Amino acid sequence: MTPGEIVPLSFNGGLVALSFLVAVLGSYVAMLAAAGIRAETRDGEIRIGYILIGAVAMGGVGVWSMHFIGMQAQNLPFEVGYQLGLTVLSFLVAAGLSGWAFWFIGRERFTFFRCLTGGAAAGLGVVAMHYVGMSAMRMPAVLLWNLPMVVLSAFIAVIAASAALWLAFNTQNERQRFGSAVLMALAICGMHYTGAAAGTVVCTAAREYASLQIGGVMLPYIAFALSAATMLLMRWHLQRASRRFRARTARRIDSIIESAPMASPGRLPGSAAGPG
């Protein structure tokens, strides 16, 4: 394409589906982390492992990995690279604010206000991640932004994150968690593709970039590796949590046995009843 031409907005259906599946995976693991926070929190103290899992699952897999697979899904007539520093920053923003939201909501009794505050933080993290990630793109083109669409994408992100956190801390069984993960993934993808539609790609002359870049073709593999690492981390932490639970249960049983009063021995059968 020649400089000045606008690239039509279109997507590869297979990669769009893959981005959705990755969002479902991250959302489901985030649901499990929220359940762990709800079950394990004692006296305002939250186990850091669950916070890390929730942060990486929601911000890292559900949002960050989905974003870059979704960017690969957009049909562009040229190769796109991503500036390394901004790409790493986008991950830290998404995971950091997601982790803060899990910590803020989980450290005290669940309330609508705490959910809304955490959802606003997580949603703004999604928005910041998306547009920082977009600014990391290195290509022979520029992006012209449609402000109302940008605002709409931010609104979707905040509402979706608030709803996702409410679901995460109120689901009770596996069926509900899976359904909630699908709804969360739909919201994440809705925000992403609304944000993608907010930027019009206009071709320019080829440019050279001196900064270190990640090739676009590598990003789906990076996203997959991140997803696999998250699942391994979750499995390791669940094993530790199971051992802690068994040890705590054993200690409680021992404490009950030791504190129970000893029953006084009864009279032996056939003993004398007393003077008659």
For the chain, domain boundaries: 13-206+217-246
Kindly give the confidence (pLDDT) of every residue in the chain, 276 residues in length, as a single tens digit, with 9 standing for 90 and above.
688 889 999 999 988 998 898 888 888 888 888 877 877 665 455 678 788 888 888 888 888 888 888 888 889 888 888 888 898 899 999 999 988 988 888 887 888 888 899 889 888 888 899 999 888 888 888 999 999 999 998 888 888 888 878 887 887 777 888 888 888 888 888 889 998 999 899 998 877 766 666 766 666 677 767 777 766 776 676 666 656 666 766 777 777 777 766 544 555 555 545 544
Region of residue 270 (left: phi > 0; alpha: psi -120 to 50; beta: else): left
Region of residue 44 (left: phi > 0; alpha: psi -120 to 50; beta: else): left
Residue 94 CA, chain-centre distance (Å), reads 9
Q: Which two tokens stand for residue 64?
A: 């960050």
Whole-model pTM: value is 0.78
